[in-house]
Structure 1
Amino acid sequence: MRAHLFDILSRRQLSALFQPIVHMQTGEIIAYEGLIRGPSDSPLHSPMNLFKAARANGLTVEVEHLCRKVVLERFAELKLPGKLFLNVSPESLLQRDARHGETLEVIHQIGIHPDRVIIELTENQPTYDYDLMREAVLHYRKMGFQIAIDDLGEGFSSLRLWSELRPEYVKIDMHFIQGINHDPVKLQFVRSIQEIAEKSNTRVIAEGIETQAELLVLRDVGVAYGQGYHLGRPHPMPARAAPAEVVKALSRNGVAVYPQRVTDKQATVGKVLHQVQAVSPAMNNNEVYHIFQQAPELMIIPVVDDGMPLGLITRFAMIEHFARPYERELYGKKSCTQFMDRKPLLADRATSLQELSFRMAEADAHHLFNGFIITDQGRYIGMGTGHDLMREITQMQIHAARYANPLTQLPGNVPINEHIDRLLESGTRFWVCYFDLDHFKPFNDVYGYRRGDDVIQLTGNILSSNGDPDRDFVGHIGGDDFMVLFQSENWEQRCQAILEEFGGKVLDFYSTEDRERGGYLSEDRQGKKVFYPVMSLSIGAIRIEPHQYYTHHQIATAAAESKKQAKKVHGNSLFLDRRQRGA
């Protein structure tokens, strides 16, 4: 293998490929990353194998120097526009013989100005000598080069490198890019990186973009540049312009549909932990009674032996026993375990609040009043109360309902309003459609809430399946009210498909008799018999032109008014409010 490497070095058996880096607002190619390949008929064709063999044989610096030279010469020969990202490992950068301007000499020979070359630091092993690293980077900057860090979020120390070196560019590892349109955690990661980049005057490059949906989410987040197969594959003769569909997509107004955040189901018991002084089983009942007397607010005292929880003593049980004739005289000097609940509810601090709430619901009622012992690896660390648990669970449910409807799992009011604000800010035309079920409440009364819930879920599914998931935002306001924010130009055709599908499928929820007569008899609130027709769907639509509205509140009011007009029409209906300015 060593001989093979020397042969590659002596005969310059390396070839260069270039992958475009695209401006996310204009679609213009602003740079290329230079990549290397070994001999095509060799096990060292892959760059990973090539550099692994070079490290194993102590030839990393020599191989890297040749790679840089081949890439630079080919870049100049092709007369490619924009900048060149040149891969350099930190270990090569720190070699003394690599610090004497060898790269500068090559680019002067071939006629490229240093400000067109970005040194892209690629990590193959941890970087520990940050002082030396800063010195080397300063050396290159003085020569006119800029610095980029590769694979942010994947490498051994990329975040530390960013902080230490303050590079002009950072590349986010493709793991966080691929599927970002479906993953709220990846979206949050990229947004956080973008926020840091803006504060540190660094430009972000998203690597590994493979779909238009990923591209548009990243554009909306504010990422400056993109790279990936969707924008252009590595090639010996790369294109000088991005694919036409990419340029068209980036130039189009509108916003991407962000993946919705996951509700926090991971809050743990540690959140309701209270420090409560435990007593030893050696303590007698008189002493425990005295503790309760001294602390009127204290309701529970845990009994713990050498860190291991044994049970709970409640104020109520203690006072009740001592109120009985002769009990204090009989048991006052006996172990406090006498009046102890020996089967308390135990929960490890890592237990989720939801799991504990299920256990609490299935347990005897007294545990809700007594509370529960919190442990860490089986050892006592504190107490939690039923009141605190109920409060936290309620808050979680309220928070979750604001972000996602618990029945349909569609985004709730907060994300709906956030998406409207993003649409307004983008200055694009869009359509707001307010969907409401007709005669839903009497159906619930007659057929029951469970079947009513099934109709709500059916409606959500129909709306979702008829929208473009990358352009049309489907939200559930609450109850039987939904909202779709369409950017699709064929929104009206989609609405008609929704009405047709709903009209056919809703019949399955009625009895054969009610289906045949088109409805059913039921009593209204005054006790009168009323005939209610089969449920239908009313859609109130408004078209939003750029700068026509300024807040989601204005749009909600206009959409609600349009829905009222739609509900005046019998059966499934779509009403477009044409009274608006510009409509």
Structure 2
Amino acid sequence: MHAAMANIRPSSVLHVDFNPRNGHQGEAAALAEIIQTGKLTAVFQPIMDFRNNAYIAFEGLIRGPEGTELHSPHQLFSAAERHGLYRELERASREAVFRSFARQNLPGKLFINATPDSLCDEFFLGDATLELLYQLGLAPNRIVIEITENQRIHDFPGLQAALGQFRNMGCQIAIDDLGEGFSNLRMWSEIRPDFIKIDRHFINGIAEDNIKHQFVKAMQSLAEICSAKIVAEGIESEADCLAVRDLGIALGQGYLIAMPVAEPRPTPCETLIRIIRQRTISVFPPTTRMAGKITVRSLTRPVGPVTPQTPIETLYRRFESEPELTSMPVVAEDTPLGLINRHEMSDRLAKPYFRELYGRKSCSQFMDALPLCIDESSTVQDAALLISRSARHHIYDGFIVTRHGKYCGIGSAHDLMGMITEMQIQAARYANPLTQLPGNVPINEHIDRLLEHRASFHACYFDIDNFKPFNDVFGYRRGDDVIVMLAQVLGQITNPSIDFCGHIGGDDFMVLFQSSDWEKRCQDALDLFDRKISTLIDETELMDNHYQGENRRGETVSYSLPSLSIGAVPVDNATALDSHREISAAATEAKRNAKKTPGSCLFIERRQLHRKAE
């Protein structure tokens, strides 16, 4: 290794003349001087363990001389690649990181970046690295080789062999930026790393983005199967940090935790520990049902077609042997020509002597030459709309499924309608179509999460009073306006990062408050609702906060404006309520008590129900 590296001073500054007249040669000379004289600064960014609020490792990074164009690692290594000095720069950088880490006696493991090409460097893989580590008092089992995938990997067997030697030394292996590189999913399966670093793209904004949330959740599941530890990179906000923590990912890294610095703190700051120790459970972004992405491909039945030359008698026997078929596709050279309806053909064959006279003739005379053809990539919603606008007989005949105009199979309108109905049911369970708020299933799932983490919260049931007469007098559209208005009010008074707002159905809502000022937020909801409800009725229809309408007997009656009732149930470690069913039942009962008081009202269940001794 380079003897000059022993005198590295992190604050050293090298002023290099990058005169444009020197051009390419000047940059190469400056880079060579940086490498030869060890003018590199090692900086370290900690990796946090959320379970014990401690740093378990530091990632070693490198910076060029301050005040120069090569201070940036991107510029530094790009220049090294241009001038054929990449491997030499990597060697000098590794030694700078090793020495600085040992000098500061930092705790835990050291993650050191390595390109796939550098793993075969004899200075890295050979005895020189071991000798340096022992000289510095660093045990090899504290070193994690973090593979950065900025090079396409062509030789996986060679990579595995090199990593095997590092493992024999006692080092562990990590993959950097999962989801960002050329082939790191394959790398994961090939080399079975000890640590997986999720690319910051998937972590930044995970608290609000359901797609990112689902990606990371899937990565976490895969990691558990492979016995690998996940590190979430790029944590920059408190909301994202708590979302990662509540997903069960134990390790995190990013600017919120600590910036990369030359001399880092060995332990987390108190502010960070307070964030991690919060008892509040983050509200996961609402699940986006992928119903709109379900395609006709999922409905396709791979039925072997007949040709236009197929005799009628042969087709008849085919229908007899396959009683579930209602239609038979007619195809020539993968091109769909038509559909033959089973029942229409049977009716014609039932005529006297028809089979005897026409049995050997072409089946094409029974064929609908204008069948409904739908590409397999079409969504089921688009297919349903197309069928509804087409000729009535297509509902009975079904449709031909194609792929780029070629025959794939057939589809049934019955199956299509069944899937549409199921999708509507599922959508209603997961999200209310009117307010787009989470439905019953997500509400129950979030209650279970809160109970599982033994978090303290208040389950508040919101219900609109006098809603039915308002709906009867002004119509369901005005009634929908009231429901949407309440949803907007709840959005205003809740903290979306910790308070879960769901729509049970109709005019019933559930909010699971973790905000400490939940009672004030409920009172704000009552006040806002009372102010807004009168704006939904024309002044000419309103008299002294009442409006007139007919009852079922046709009599004119004066009705009170809709008001809002809230039933609140506190839930903590002392409560006897230990399932979403019990909590929903208790909140419903509290709501009934609230409705006993005229006007908008908040009822809080004050009874203390204690958990039975275990």
Question: Shorter-chain TM-score: which interval?
Answer: over 0.9
Unaligned runs of 5+ in 2: 1-26
> 1:552 aligns to what?
580
Cα offset for 1:76?
Answer: 2.9
Alignment of 1:17-416 (within 5 A): 17-265=43-291, 266-283=293-310, 288=315, 291-292=318-319, 296-320=323-347, 336-416=363-443
Contact 1:432 1:486 survives alignment (8 Å): yes
Contact 1:437 1:480 survives alignment (8 Å): yes
Of the structure 1 ranges 227-236 and 307-316, higher mean CA displacement relative to structure 2 is found in 307-316
> 2:32 aligns to what?
6
Contact 1:424 1:547 survives alignment (8 Å): no
> Matches of 2:335 and 2:435 in 1, distance apart?
44
> 1:573 aligns to what?
601
> Matches of 2:175 and 2:404 in 1, distance apart?
41
1:495 to 522, 544, 569: 522
Cα 1:294–1:240 change in 2 (3 A) is closer
**Would you say 1:475 and 2:509 are equivalent positions?**
no
SS in 1 for 2:543: helix
Cα offset for 1:279?
Answer: 2.7
Contact 2:91 2:123 survives alignment (8 Å): no
1:353 partner amino acid: V
Of the structure 1 ranges 557-566 and 280-289, higher mean CA displacement relative to structure 2 is found in 280-289
Cα 1:283–1:556 change in 2 (3 A) is same
> Matches of 1:515 and 1:280 in 2, distance apart?
72
SS in 1 for 2:32: helix
Cα 1:138–1:318 change in 2 (3 A) is closer
SS in 1 for 2:374: strand
The superposition leaves residues 397-452 of structure 1 with CA deviations (integer Å, 9 ceiling, x where unpaired) of: 11121111121111111111111111111112110000011111222222222222
Of the structure 1 ranges 172-181 and 33-42, higher mean CA displacement relative to structure 2 is found in 33-42
1:544 partner amino acid: V
SS in 2 for 1:538: strand
Cα 1:280–1:165 change in 2 (3 A) is closer
The superposition leaves residues 30-52 of structure 1 with CA deviations (integer Å, 9 ceiling, x where unpaired) of: 32211111233444332223323
* Aligned residue pair count: 583
Of the structure 1 ranges 21-30 and 501-510, higher mean CA displacement relative to structure 2 is found in 21-30
> Matches of 2:114 and 2:306 in 1, distance apart?
63
> 2:533 aligns to what?
506
> 1:419 aligns to what?
446
1:360 partner amino acid: I
Cα 1:333–1:110 change in 2 (3 A) is closer
> Matches of 2:338 and 2:365 in 1, distance apart?
11
**Would you say 1:539 and 2:605 are equivalent positions?**
no
> Matches of 2:342 and 2:165 in 1, distance apart?
73
Of the structure 1 ranges 358-367 and 133-142, higher mean CA displacement relative to structure 2 is found in 133-142
Contact 1:26 1:250 survives alignment (8 Å): no
Q: Normalising to structure 1: TM-score of the pair?
A: 0.93
SS in 1 for 2:89: helix
> Matches of 2:507 and 2:385 in 1, distance apart?
29
> Matches of 2:545 and 2:442 in 1, distance apart?
37
Contact 1:26 1:251 survives alignment (8 Å): no
> Matches of 1:159 and 1:296 in 2, distance apart?
46
Contact 1:257 1:470 survives alignment (8 Å): yes
1:314 partner amino acid: N
> Matches of 2:187 and 2:142 in 1, distance apart?
22
Contact 2:458 2:571 survives alignment (8 Å): yes
1:24 partner amino acid: F
Contact 1:503 1:572 survives alignment (8 Å): yes
Of the structure 1 ranges 369-378 and 114-123, higher mean CA displacement relative to structure 2 is found in 114-123
> Matches of 2:215 and 2:88 in 1, distance apart?
37
The superposition leaves residues 131-186 of structure 1 with CA deviations (integer Å, 9 ceiling, x where unpaired) of: 33333333333333332221122223323333343333221111111111122222
> 1:435 aligns to what?
462
Cα 1:224–1:568 change in 2 (3 A) is same
Of the structure 1 ranges 518-527 and 206-215, higher mean CA displacement relative to structure 2 is found in 518-527
> Matches of 1:396 and 1:308 in 2, distance apart?
32
> Matches of 1:218 and 1:293 in 2, distance apart?
59
The superposition leaves residues 370-402 of structure 1 with CA deviations (integer Å, 9 ceiling, x where unpaired) of: 211101110112111111001111111111211
2:562 partner amino acid: M
SS in 2 for 1:363: coil
Cα 1:294–1:241 change in 2 (3 A) is closer
SS in 1 for 2:542: helix
> Matches of 1:323 and 1:207 in 2, distance apart?
73
1:449 to 462, 472, 476: 476
1:460 to 480, 484, 487: 487
> Matches of 1:338 and 1:36 in 2, distance apart?
78
Identity of aligned residues (%): 47
Of the structure 1 ranges 115-124 and 332-341, higher mean CA displacement relative to structure 2 is found in 332-341
> Matches of 2:133 and 2:350 in 1, distance apart?
95
Cα offset for 1:70?
Answer: 1.2
Cα 1:184–1:136 change in 2 (3 A) is same
Of the structure 1 ranges 165-174 and 331-340, higher mean CA displacement relative to structure 2 is found in 331-340
